[in-house]
Amino acid sequence: MASATSPNSAGSPTSRRTKDKTHFLYIAVILAVVLGAVLGLLSPDFAKGLKPMGTAFIALIKMMIAPVIFCTIVLGIGSIAKAATVGKVGGLALGYFILMSTFALAIGLIVGNLIHPGTGLNLEASAADAPAAPEDGEGLVGFVLSIIPATLLASLTGESILQTLFVALLVGFALQKMGPAGAPILTGIGHLQKLVFRILAMVMWLAPIGAFGAIAAVVGETGVGAIKSMAVLMIAFYITCILFIAVVLGGVLKICTGVNIFKLMRYLGREYLLIFSTSSSEVALPRLIAKMEHLGVSKPVVGVTVPTGYSFNLDGTAIYLTMAALFVASAMNKPLEFGEQISLLVFMIIASKGAAGVTGAGLATLAGGLQSHRPDLVEGVGLIVGIDRFMSEGRALTNFTGNAVATVLIGTWTKEIDKEQVNAVLNRERPFDEASMDDDHQAPAPAPETELETTAAR
């Protein structure tokens, strides 16, 4: 079973080696950012000449946008179809996830418009005359017609991400209509997605080089202002995530279930430490499943809600995507109009589902959103490369908390939760048996028909 295999492998030697490698990449990016900033301050003229290093890395990311968007959207629609077949639980979970992710994206836009991160940097892309979105000249009709590609495959080789999105939606819904006959094709696209993410992971090993060149050039051009702007973005992002968890998620949880979110977070303390040390919430998946069942939520609800949430409930990622897009636009002195922000939000709602879990897929989604609306801003993604890793913990912790809250909410709404057990566990009267996780992480897994692709989970 896919969902069981992936979580259980988290404790294997192979998995540990993989996490160690990712940790080395994380350290390398941090060192590259620091060295790039120092070089930019000490030798501005030389640092400006390193800009092509960042530009080349962004070009590699752009190369991956179309296949990432296509695979995740097609598989995402297939996952929705599977989850919907489990009835009330699946329907409630999907409805809640879409609503909450949209709300998180909106919050990111609101905060970004309030603090205006990146303002004053006045950076210019080397391709300042990049093509604009196809909205001028022929109005709405021209824009709609431009979404339709010349051929089905042209959407995967052209520069219009909206065409890729359009074809991915068509393919996804067509596979739904095919029923069991479409299952082998979905499986094949699943294998293609693994290949795409493997290539993307290889590209991300060049992130330290790209980050070094991009940060050095930016600091060399703007001085300390760039460092201050990036610090403002990171601080604002973390404050926004904290408020989202405490106020939004905590408020909904308290009103609907009477559960105190801080008690729930205390109960999940070990998982938070694990996530913080690895910058990934996927490593805590088996423990979340086991702990939610111990909390008193029924196995069917946990089996549907948790895997679905790991692909569709990306609150922290949603906040990050919108704030990062506004930061790039402000830094390049090309702010997004309100209409562009709303259309970008709609794009992110669709494109972010399942795409933010693999290292670098968040950057690809961000670049894809900008490419589809404002191609002249894509090069500015290089600014985010250097600080993306600094915000990964915030994204993972927020996503994880959102999934834990969602599980309790869905259990309450479907009356599949033992409230006496919830109170006893959260009051530390019935502690979780850590020894139960030692037997090869035998966490309960969802039934085959409710399994979702969790490789893209954070």
Tell me: the pLDDT tens digits for 122-167?
A: 666 543 344 444 444 445 566 677 778 888 887 777 766 777 878 8
Average pLDDT score over residue span 15-24: 52
Work out the pLDDT band at 442, boundaries 50, 70, 90.
very low
Work out the pLDDT band at 104, boundaries 50, 70, 90.
confident
Q: Is 149 left (phi over 0), alpha (psi -120 to 50) or beta?
A: beta
Burial of 185 by CB count in 10 Å (0-12 exposed, 13-18 middle, 19+ buried)? middle
CA distance 362 to 346: 16
Half-sphere exposure of 151 (CA within 13 A, CB side): 4
Q: Is the pLDDT of residue 189 over 60?
A: yes
What pLDDT score does 309 carry?
79
Residue 371 parent element (H or E) = helix 361-373
Dihedral angle, C-alpha 393, 301, 456, 356, nearest 10 °: -50
Query: Percentage of residues in the chain with pLDDT exceeding 90?
Result: 10
CA distance 106 to 112: 10
What are the extents of the domains in the chain? 14-450
Q: Is the pLDDT of residue 438 over 60?
A: no
Q: CB within 8 A of 111, min separation 6: which ones?
A: 236, 240, 319, 323
pLDDT tens per residue, range 314-346: 788 888 888 888 888 888 888 788 777 887 777
Token output for 196? 């795409």
What pLDDT score does 256 carry?
92
Nearest to 20 by CA among 269, 283, 200, 211: 283
pLDDT tens per residue, range 277-310: 656 676 677 788 889 989 998 888 887 788 777 7
CA distance 71 to 132: 26
What pLDDT score does 86 carry?
58
Token output for 210? 């790209």
pLDDT tens per residue, range 252-273: 999 999 999 999 999 998 888 8
First to last CA, the chain: 20
Yes or no: say if 215 and 36 are a contact pair by the CB < 8 Å rule.
yes
pLDDT tens per residue, range 370-417: 777 777 787 777 777 767 777 777 888 898 999 999 999 999 998 888
pLDDT tens per residue, range 346-364: 777 766 665 444 555 667 7
pLDDT tens per residue, range 206-264: 878 887 887 888 777 777 777 787 888 888 899 999 999 999 999 999 999 999 999 99
What does R_g of the chain's alpha carbons equal in angstroms?
22
Q: Does domain 14-450 have CATH number 1.10.3860?
A: yes
